[in-house]
Amino acid sequence: MPRIAGIDIPEKKKIGISLRYVFGIGPKVALDILREVGIDPERRTNELKETEIAQITSVIDAKIIVEGALRRQIQQDVQRLKDIKSYRGDRHRKNLPAHGQRTRSNSRTRKGKKKTVAGKKGVKS
């Protein structure tokens, strides 16, 4: 398996798709990298020469923040929001959606499994 930016990428897929396995590289960035190096995005990863892989790696190292450094940067950004006690930081701290999504009926991914709360059962007064 070829290694690009310290990550093993699939051999049998097209290089335009394989580059997306690196954290921080999406569809547009992958195509931009390949355009800069001059490689057809439709070629398979196993068809690439070592020199072409080295060119791709050098472009990624020079211009794009990927993998560990990007994860660290995102973590620091969230920590900064928590430290300054911003609204978004509070939402991160409480594990709730931070971008204005509704939470009354959705957001189970962020909130976790349902916690049933016992309600009032026929209280007579």
Closest by CA position to 25, among listed 59, 65, 52: 65
Residue 124 has a pLDDT of 65
Task: Identify the structural domains of the chain with CATH numbers, from first to last.
Answer: 3-63 (1.10.8.50), 71-111 (4.10.910.10)
Residue 120 has a pLDDT of 72
Q: What is the pTM of this model?
A: 0.78
Distance in angstroms (rounded) separating the CA atoms of residues 95 and 110:
6
What tens-digit pLDDT sequence spans the chain (125 residues)?
Answer: 778 877 888 889 999 999 999 999 999 999 999 999 999 999 999 999 999 999 999 999 999 999 999 999 999 999 999 999 999 999 999 999 999 899 888 888 888 898 888 877 766 65
